[in-house]
Amino acid sequence: MRVQVAIIGAGPAGLMLGRLLELAGIDAVIIERRSADYVLGRIRAGVLEQGTVDLMDRALAGTRMHAEGLVHHGIELGFDGDRHRIDFSALVGSQVMVYGQTEVTRDLMALRQAPTIYEAEDVELHDFDGKPWVTYRKDGVTHRIDCAVIAGCDGFHGVSRHSVPEQSLTTFERVYPFGWLGVLTDRPPVAHELIYAHHERGFALCSQRSLTRSRYYIQVPADEQVGAWSDARFWDELRARLAPETAEAMQIGPSIEKSVAPLRSFVAEPLRFGQLFLAGDAAHIVPPTGAKGLNLAMSDVATLADALIEHFTEGSPAALDGYSSHVLGRIWKAERFSWWMTSLLHTFPETGPFGRRIQRAEFDYLTGSLAAQQSLAENYVGLPL
Ligand code: RFL
Ligand code: PHB
């Protein structure tokens, strides 16, 4: 097979890139290691920035999102039971959309006409400094795809970044000593908006997927086993970290999904190696506290799609040449914001009582300063593309 673009990975980044290229008449195949059902079964992000909403519309994929997604005009921050609302609309005149990553993925999958090869084993990238090609094995047979460009959209553990010689890549990383234990339940959310809470027992987040489905998270040690957490233990711990009136109002139910996600900050530089381009979690990871991972993946592929369209339709390499430095500027701002939200809201045993006093001062400064709230709001709703 010969195509213009071989996309590795059918997560939101790969599917959105595939869709934007398809609409522009550029020939692209997606090669994915897992089955479509497996990809749809992963419960991940829940908050879309306006830029991501706009991109879904550009991809002509926004109909169900606008019908079923929930527009949120703010979030609540909690600190040891004290509560403060950040009003995005009043502070920066923008908002976010609560619509699950699973639904974004489902909508993009449903629209796709061009081939996606699921359950492709042993995907390998060849010759991306010259004339690139990709091989994979399916049902015991090895296949070859020749292409002009490879887009590595295969997440943090994917093969694309790992195919780059170590000396060509600089990586920056912080691994946090904790993770998030998440529970999904078919009960109405405890509040209309998301609640991010700092407590001396650890961070807690009350999120949602719809008016009848809630998503809750608590900070746990990085090596925590899900099996150690019965539903009852989870609900008790979550409620202990929230303001009493919130804990009391919470409707609890059986969990329909429960998992631990590690927290990490990571950036690889650069994002172009010959004809290979990295985008999304393959290029960077943020801790989920700022709700930036999916949105950053989407802004990478929006830029990459435009650059590829310019390359293939006008023969101009300028935008592709600028891709890496262009997106890295935005990536580092999202890294900074996610690190800052994480630092404010989690407990860090190693920083001791001094660290907690600094966190309290940061919270008090934030709740007393419109400028500080505006900065939070501006970053949370998403910096311009
Ligand atoms: P993905 O989603 O990891 O998709 C990569 C795809 O590549 C496939 N793959 C391979 N295919 C072929 N060959 C190989 N060798 C391959 N190796 C891997 C994988 O099977 C997969 O299908 O990366 P992508 O597309 O870059 O998307 C990134 C987002 O998934 C991620 O950033 C977000 O989920 C992060 N995130 C959040 N982001 C937000 O913007 N808002 C949020 O509210 C938010 N909440 C979260 C999150 C991530 C979480 N976890 C579990 C890490 C909450 C959590 C708990
Ligand atoms: C989620 O609903 O999964 C979610 C929401 C906000 C975050 C992280 C995760 O910051």
DSSP one-letter code for 312: I
Is 83 part of a structural domain of the chain? no
Is 80 part of a structural domain of the chain? no
Q: Whose CA is nearest to atom 2 of ligand 1?
A: 11
User: Longest C-alpha distance within the chain, in Å?
Assistant: 64
**For residue 186, which phi and psi values (nearest 5 degrees)?**
-85, 70
Model confidence pLDDT, tens digit, residues 247-296? 999 999 999 999 999 999 999 999 999 999 999 999 999 999 999 999 99
Q: Could you tell me if 113 and 11 lie in one domain?
A: yes
Q: Which atom of ligand 2 lies at the shortest distance from residue 291's CA?
A: 10
Q: Could you tell me if 36 and 110 lie in one domain?
A: yes
Domain boundary among 325, 341, 357: 341
Please state, as a whole number, how many other Cβ atoms lie within 10 Å of the Cβ of residue 353: 7
Q: What is the mean pLDDT of residues 59-69?
A: 98
What CATH number does residue 227 fall under? 3.30.9.10
Q: What type of residue is 356?
A: R
Q: Could you tell me if 168 and 180 lie in one domain?
A: no
Residue of 284, 292, 311, 346 marked active site: 292
Residue among 281, 295, 300 whose CB has most ligand 1 atoms within 8 A, to mutate: 281
Per the structure block, which two tokens stand in for 91? 């502070």
DSSP one-letter code for 351: G
Is 380 marked active-site?
Answer: yes
Q: Could you tell me if 48 and 119 lie in one domain?
A: yes
Q: Which of 107, 19, 96 minimizes the C-alpha distance to 53?
A: 96
Is 79 part of a structural domain of the chain? no
- State how many domains the chain has: 2
Q: Could you tell me if 38 and 119 lie in one domain?
A: yes
Model confidence pLDDT, tens digit, residues 185-212? 999 999 999 999 999 999 999 999 999 9
Q: Could you tell me if 304 and 354 lie in one domain?
A: no
Average pLDDT of the chain, as a whole number? 97
Q: Which atom of ligand 1 lies at the shortest distance from residue 9's CA?
A: 7
Is 292 marked active-site?
Answer: yes
Is 11 part of a structural domain of the chain? yes
Q: Could you tell me if 280 and 312 lie in one domain?
A: yes
Residue of 12, 136, 288, 311 marked active site: 288
Residue of 99, 136, 176, 196 marked active site: 196
Q: Could you tell me if 188 and 259 lie in one domain?
A: yes
Q: Could you tell me if 115 and 182 lie in one domain?
A: no
Q: What pLDDT is attached to residue 259?
A: 96
Q: What pLDDT is attached to residue 349?
A: 84
Residue 50 to residue 378: CA distance in whole angstroms? 12
Q: What is the mean pLDDT of residues 97-102?
A: 97
Q: What is the mean pLDDT of residues 223-228?
A: 97
Q: Which of 182, 160, 128, 149 minimizes the C-alpha distance to 308?
A: 149
Q: What is the mean pLDDT of residues 312-327?
A: 96
Q: What type of residue is 215?
A: R
Q: Is the Cβ–Cβ distance between 187 and 251 less than 8 Å?
A: yes
Q: Which of 5, 6, 11, 33 minimizes the C-alpha distance to 281?
A: 11
Is 52 part of a structural domain of the chain? yes
Q: Residues near 62 by Cβ (< 8 Å), separated by ≥ 6?
A: 53, 56
Domain containing 281 equals: 5-72+96-173+264-341
Q: Helices 50-58 and 293-309 sit at what angle, rounded to 10 degrees?
A: 40
Q: Residues near 153 by Cβ (< 8 Å), separated by ≥ 6?
A: 7, 8, 9, 11, 13, 14, 17, 160, 279, 280, 282, 297, 301
Q: Whose CA is nearest to atom 7 of ligand 2?
A: 291
164 pLDDT band, cuts 50/70/90, is very high
Indicate the pTM of the whole model: 0.97
Q: Which of 246, 244, 270, 274 minimizes the C-alpha distance to 332?
A: 270
Q: Helices 370-381 and 318-345 sit at what angle, rounded to 10 degrees?
A: 130
Pocket of ligand 1 (CB under 6 A): 8-14, 31-34, 39, 44-47, 101, 120, 123, 153-155, 157-159, 180, 182, 261, 280-281, 288, 291-295, 297
Q: Residues near 24 by Cβ (< 8 Å), separated by ≥ 6?
A: 305, 309, 312, 313
Q: Tell me the CA–centroid distance for residue 247 and ligand 1, in Å.
A: 31
Preceding omega of 270 cis (within 30 degrees of 0)? yes
Q: Tell me the CA–centroid distance for residue 352 and ligand 2, in Å.
A: 27
Is 91 part of a structural domain of the chain? no
Q: Is the Cβ–Cβ distance between 132 and 149 less than 8 Å?
A: yes
Q: Is the Cβ–Cβ distance between 251 and 188 less than 8 Å?
A: yes
**207 Cβ below 6 A of ligand 2:** yes
Is 56 part of a structural domain of the chain? yes
- Of all residues in the chain, what percent carry a pLDDT higher than 90? 97
96 pLDDT band, cuts 50/70/90, is very high
Residue 3 to residue 149: CA distance in whole angstroms? 9
- Residues in the chain, overall count: 385
What CATH number does residue 154 fall under? 3.50.50.60
Q: Tell me the CA–centroid distance for residue 125 and ligand 2, in Å.
A: 33
Is 165 part of a structural domain of the chain? yes
Q: Tell me the CA–centroid distance for residue 192 and ligand 2, in Å.
A: 14
Q: Could you tell me if 129 and 248 lie in one domain?
A: no
Q: Which of 309, 307, 331 minimizes the C-alpha distance to 321?
A: 307
342 pLDDT band, cuts 50/70/90, is very high
Q: Which atom of ligand 1 lies at the shortest distance from residue 46's CA?
A: 43
Edge-to-edge strands, sheet with 133-138: 121-126, 133-138, 141-146
Per the structure block, which two tokens stand in for 271? 């994002």
Region for residue 336 given its phi and psi (left: phi exceeds 0; alpha: psi -120 to 50; beta: otherwise): alpha
385 pLDDT band, cuts 50/70/90, is confident
43 pLDDT band, cuts 50/70/90, is confident
Residue 122 to residue 142: CA distance in whole angstroms? 9
Q: Could you tell me if 337 and 354 lie in one domain?
A: no
Is 258 marked active-site?
Answer: no
Q: What is the mean pLDDT of residues 369-375?
A: 98
Q: Could you tell me if 190 and 295 lie in one domain?
A: no
Q: Which atom of ligand 2 lies at the shortest distance from residue 43's CA?
A: 3
Residue with tokens 């404010």: 344
Q: Tell me the CA–centroid distance for residue 299 and ligand 2, in Å.
A: 18
Is 177 marked active-site?
Answer: no
136 pLDDT band, cuts 50/70/90, is very high
Is 135 exposed, middle or buried (CB count within 10 Å of its CB: 0-12, 13-18, 19+)?
A: middle
117 pLDDT band, cuts 50/70/90, is very high
